Structure 1
Amino acid sequence: MKILILCTGNSCRSQMAHGFLQSFDANLQVFSAGTHPAEQVNPHAVEVMAEAGIDISHHRPTDVATCLNETWDYVITVCDHARESCPAFSGEVRHRLHIGIEDPSEVTGSPETIRQAFIQARDLIKERFSRFYLTEILGKELPRCACER
């Protein structure tokens, strides 16, 4: 199973989702990319993922252009901008999904406010990508949560 997680900067949300999916199943081929990749993975994302036991410090932002000719089982956008500007893939894309997450790197305020934004994004990504993994990859039916009704 080959999965691409796409966002704008590929520095935060897509990197965290990449880390979680890979931790759920080492047999998945998980990649992440950005429509306008940043210079590096956001240090706050690296920090909060390490606290969850997942090391993404070796990840590097990648331009989605390097992924366009490949075949993907899933291309998942995690931000509205990437969803709206998702490029045309010349390789086959079997499924396109959007799992939108607010960008914690846009939060301003005290260091604790920023840290909490990254923790909230991390926890939401874990929950939503766990659900994706269980339902889409493993094919399990889960009860719908109240927030989806």
Structure 2
Amino acid sequence: MIFFLIFLGTFLIMECVTWCTHKYVMHGSMWYFHADHHQPKYANVFERNDIFFVIFAVPSIVLFYYGVEGGLNYKFFIGLGIMFYGLCYFMIHDVLIHQRFKWFKHTNNKYLIGLRKAHKIHHKHLGKEYGECFGMLFVPFKYYKI
């Protein structure tokens, strides 16, 4: 039970980490890597912004490695929480919102429509200033109204 709570807590904390990283790092000192994500899309499959998937994957991989020494320990479940958050982020951000993969093109789900609306508001600014809606899985309730 404690390992499940560690996993769940890590997953939820990752939304806060993502929000802060998005607002203060991606729209701050690492804007060079994130800027192409706010520009019109080209035929290129990858963006410089994709480096952030690698940056977030490294701690998860390291925690998996040290989390299996001598049997499963709490580090493994922290890594699992980070990994599952990353998977959800990928499915929401790259598949559902930006349609980089054409798996879920249409939805009537109010929550998913709200996520799309909030992200669209985030992308209305092409520069790094004046951004809003930096979260991914939890966005203000006003975007859930249809």
CA radius of gyration, larger in = 2
Higher RCO, 1 or 2 (CA under 8 Å, sep at least 6)?
A: 2
More helix by share: 2
More strand by share: 1
With normalisation by structure 1, the TM-score equals 0.29
